[in-house]
Chains A and B, each alone.
Chain A
Amino acid sequence: MPKTFTRKKIFVVALVIIAAFVGLFARLSYLMLVRSDYYYQKAQALHERERSIKAKRGVIYDRNGVEMAGNKPVCSVSVIHSQVTNEDEVVKQLCRVLNLDEEWVRKKVTTRSMREKIKSNVEKETADQLRELGLDGVMIDEDYKRYYPYNTLASKVLGFTGADNQGIVGLEVAYEDVLEGTPGSILTLTDANGVEIPNEAEGRVEPIAGKNLYISIDVNIQKYAEQAATKVLKAKQAKRVSVILMNPQNGEIYAMVNVPEYNLNEPYTLVSVEDLYVGSTEETQENTDEKTDETKQQNMTEQEKQDALNGMWRNFCINDTYEPGSTFKIVTATAALEEGVVRVDDTFSCPGFRIVEDRRIRCHKVGGHGAETFRQGIMNSCNPVFIDVGARVGVDNMYKNYRKLGLFEKTGIDLPGEASSIMHKQEDVGAVELATMSFGQSFQITPLQLLRAASAVVNGGTLVTPHFGMYATDEDGKKVDTFAYEEKANAIQKSTSDTMKELLEAVVAEGSGSKGQVAGYRVGGKTATSEKFPRGNGKYISSFLGFVPANNPQIIGIIMIDEPVGIYYGGTIAAPVMSEMYQNILPYIGIEADYTDTGEKTKE
């Protein structure tokens, strides 16, 4: 036995040690009870990784529920090294199925402790093929890619989306808030290298799909319009043909065409107009043309290519302005009637020109129309008549009526990038400017602004807001949003509207717009041939604006043929296209024929 003092000392040492243990345990308790939350949260922040789940973007339907922009399920393939059991097999199959370079794939597969993305936007069928092989360590994630079943249809209206499914142009960006879903998320735990730990409890927040958008476009009408526009584009070797078809009563747009359209599924592939001429009878040098075209594209710098793409995506109907020409006489006539400065039967004389101050302004008929009434003046689209009428209205009243018809404001259409009209300052307008403005020259507006003004003229005086978006539904098809648009009633008097309808019907029935007639229907309208700047180049925009039925318009349309080759008169080349479109469309939308006795009229 050790001595007593030794035993005492041992005992004391033991007590000191145990006291130290108790002290440490107290420290531990403090850390694990009091500070637990603090350290737990810090640790959790270190471990958690949030992986987002893309939400399905809302579908765009036409007015009848036909899908115009949808989602195609695609997959992304990735590899987790630590879960791969048969490396060689994985590399071999990935190369075979996805058609990839072996060395590259092997490098990805052998990268340790990381989730390596092999390929995204893989077609579902291809991904299913991989899935069936059941390779360990190969992960296939579902994703969505925007898909446009009609490829080119209404491309400049719909627009397309970018890599993250976000709208870039067109309705896709205008209705981003509606179409865009709320992404969900998966919370996973990871180790120090960021590798997800399998079988760890995951927090999952489900994504909310975007709302479906129903637009006023009718796929069939759009198709008719596009076909007719493409046909005339080819026939006239035009640079571009644009068409808008709209309900003048409420502003719903049935079709908006700008050919050449581009393929929405390949929005970065440049489309050249010349390609469309292929097959048309007048084409002789197509091969050489194509070659120069290709080399031209290859030689483009990035900036030039981007500019070309931006040009291709442009919607002429709203993004660009033009000199409307004679179709604008509708506005001048309306202003004159509103101000009561002219009556339908007032007589004018046309010697083939009019001298305004120091300028001699010609009529398109060199010999002159002679003596004619205001009604005949419109039917003949006689410039001297409108110069006189414009002078009677005066600058201030003219501008007042422009304002009433919305020519100083944007139409408010639900598409981005709408252009503003380019007008003379009111105080700068002299007699010459007033005269040229009276027949639609020396200022610029967008085609849609003109169509909107004309709609107000023929619908009884209500200034509508042209639009596409009608309502939105949720995933289950329940209507959740109905879009309302501003309407300004009584922009002009009802009586003016009635007179104008009658006058414009006469233009088509007996005047310069006779080629715009549609068998069995009462059509009202106005033609225009505007010479492009610089004058004298022989470049024109031929257009026709027409509505049916003339007494109670249900559809109004405008067609613009940009730089036609050969005959360029709007009445000759634009009006028949509109007529052809109406022949197909009117029965389709259920507008009944006004008369059946068509024998005589169809002969023309």
Chain B
Amino acid sequence: MANRRPREVERPTRKRSNKTKKKSDFFDYSLLFIVLFLVAFGLVMVYSTSSYTAELKTGSSAYYLKRQGLFAVMGIAAMLGVSKMDYHWWKRVSLLMMYAIIALLILVLIVGKASNGSVRWIQLGPVQFQPSEAAKVVIVLYTAHVATIRAARIGDLKILFRVVAFPMAVVALIAVENLSTGIICAAMVAIIVFVTSPKIKQFFAMGGILVGFMTIFLLTQSYRMDRIKIWLHPEKYEKGYQTMQALYAIGSGGIFGKGLGQSIQKLGFIPESHNDMIFSVICEELGLFGAACVIGLFIILVWRCVMIAMSAPDLYGALIVVGVTTHIAVQVLINVAVVTNTIPPTGVPLPFISYGGTAIFGLLIEMGLVLSVARQIRVTKEY
């Protein structure tokens, strides 16, 4: 039943967009440039942060750089490929991908429990694969698709719940192992349906209920309360070590920093400084000025995406861009907030910059989606 109706709505949209494509061949080069710049900057910082420890551990200072570089190159190729596609094609596979990702997440839970309880990876031949990263792409595509279909009646709570049923199942599966990624995914789903729905109050009500549940959840689980204690007084707890080290790095940066490559904190003081804590080393080496530049780039990126979303050819395109933008923005905000000890510590990588193959690959595919939506904007008519 559900399968029949989408196709009806789908047809006209696709025809219209095909026409547009013939009229203009717009490509958002400024967005592409920002993304490429962030990726390149990320590679520089990964090298800067990892070279010393990589040398000690593996004997090759470029060990992490090479791996990350490989994924970046693959990701950029994939991004360009995706950007050339008509984004409406994804509607056909989104349900399939949803089933696949649920299966993968369940699989990773089983495999993970079999090994040591916190494994978030699946080994695919020589490549490690993190299903939760792929889940973000799937959630964006699926939720955007379903929300577009139900757009007219989404103000009805029953319909709304039906739209978010699958995505929230995925969120739950992710949150079991990784609360912060779950929160990011939930935020993506929430923002997509929020902008689709004409209503406002029910969202605030739901938001209030959610906050209530979260509070109870946190209070009942003692180890999460520990995190809050560590957050409030990181210097008093052994587990606050990483936070303190990040603060030392940030604080010792000053206005212009110590200079690229001059960080001391990356020399083993901050564990895995090329991962989630990379922003603290950026602050130490490039100072407040460098940190402002990075944050500024992300703001421009978000703003550019918002412009694309607002002038997207159809609701589906707009919702894809909104989902991707939410993903990137929330992740950057959480990462910087954790590094500056503004919120309790949790492990979230900085998009495009932190080390992590699946993450950067997934993000670049998402940017490919945004670019493909941007390509179908009717520039000639509107502007």
Q: Which residues of A approach B to under 8 Å, CB–CB? A: 1-3, 5-7, 9-11, 13-14, 17-18, 20-21, 24-25, 27-29, 31-33, 35-40, 42-44, 46-47, 82, 112-113, 189, 191-193, 197
Contacts and interface: CB of A to CB of B under 8 A. Distances in A.
A17 B319 CA distance: 17
A515 B348 CA distance: 101
- Chain A, interface SS category: helix
A113 to B, nearest CB: 6
Given A191-B267, A193-B268, A29 B288 contact: yes
User: Which of A6, A13, A20, A82 has the most chain B CB within a 10 Å cutoff?
Assistant: A6
B130 interface: no
27 contacts: A1-B311, A1-B314, A2-B312, A2-B314, A2-B315, A6-B315, A10-B195, A10-B310, A13-B191, A13-B195, A13-B326, A14-B302, A18-B302, A21-B302, A24-B295, A25-B292, A31-B250, A33-B255, A36-B254, A37-B251, A39-B248, A39-B252, A44-B252, A82-B56, A189-B264, A192-B267, A197-B264
Interface in B228-267: 247-255, 264-265, 267
Contact of A7 (B56, B250, B253, B310): B310
B195 A39 contact: no
Interface stretch (B42-50, B204-212, B216-224, B335-343): B335-343
A21 to B, nearest CB: 5
A29 B290 CA distance: 12
Given A13-B322, A197-B267, A24 B337 contact: yes
A27 B342 contact: yes
A375 to B, nearest CB: 88
A31 B269 contact: no
B283 A32 contact: yes
Contacts of A31: 247, 250-251, 340
A195 to B, nearest CB: 8
B170 interface: no
Given A6-B318, A46-B269, A14 B247 contact: no
Given A10-B310, A10-B322, A193-B268, A32 B255 contact: yes
B303 A18 contact: yes
A201 to B, nearest CB: 10
A39 B250 contact: yes
Nearest to A15: B306
Nearest to A193: B268
A35 B247 CA distance: 10
Interface string B300-337: 00110010011111110010001001100100110011
B337 to A, nearest CB: 6
B52 A191 contact: yes
Contact of A28 (B194, B196, B336): B336
Nearest to A81: B56
A446 to B, nearest CB: 61
Contact of B298 (A9, A13, A21): A21
B46 to A, nearest CB: 18
Given A11-B306, A24-B295, A31-B251, A17 B269 contact: no
A302 B315 CA distance: 93
A46 B302 CA distance: 38
B380 to A, nearest CB: 14
User: Which of B267, B283, B333 has the most chain A CB within a 10 Å cutoff?
Assistant: B267
Contacts of A189: 264
Nearest to A6: B195
A82 B264 CA distance: 17
B184 to A, nearest CB: 13
Given A5-B198, A43-B249, A33 B269 contact: no
A21 B251 contact: no
Interface residues of B, number: 51
Contact of A24 (B247, B252, B310, B340): B340
Contacts of A44: 252
- Chain B, interface SS category: helix
B51 to A, nearest CB: 12
B309 A10 contact: yes
A32 B303 contact: no
A3 B314 CA distance: 9
Contacts of A29: 288
Contact of A191 (B269, B287, B311, B315): B269
Given A5-B198, A13-B326, A43 B310 contact: no
A37 B264 CA distance: 16
A39 B283 contact: no
Given A20-B333, A27-B342, A32-B250, 12 more contacts: A2-B318, A3-B198, A6-B315, A11-B310, A13-B195, A21-B298, A28-B283, A31-B250, A32-B251, A39-B251, A43-B252, A191-B264
B254 A6 contact: no
Contacts of A6: 195-196, 315, 318
B299 interface: yes
B299 A21 contact: yes
B291 interface: yes
Contacts of B314: 1-2
In order of increasing CB-CB distance, the 9 nearest A-B pairs are A39-B251, A192-B268, A191-B267, A43-B248, A14-B306, A40-B252, A9-B195, A2-B318, A32-B288
B191 to A, nearest CB: 6
Nearest to B248: A43
Given A32-B250, A32-B288, A14 B303 contact: yes
Nearest to A14: B306
Contacts of A192: 267-269
A1 B382 CA distance: 10
Contacts of A5: 198
Contact of B251 (A2, A14, A36): A36
B201 to A, nearest CB: 13
A24 B333 contact: yes
Contacts of A18: 299, 302-303
B254 A32 contact: yes
A39 B302 contact: no
A10 B267 CA distance: 42
A32 B287 contact: yes
A32 B249 CA distance: 9
Nearest to B235: A42
A284 B303 CA distance: 108
B313 A25 contact: no
A7 B195 CA distance: 8
A21 B248 contact: no
Contacts of B291: 25, 28, 32
A192 B315 CA distance: 52
A134 B306 CA distance: 62
A13 to B, nearest CB: 6
B251 A24 contact: no
Interface in B144-203: 191, 194-196, 198
A9 B195 CA distance: 5
A38 B247 CA distance: 10
Nearest to B303: A14
A32 B333 CA distance: 18
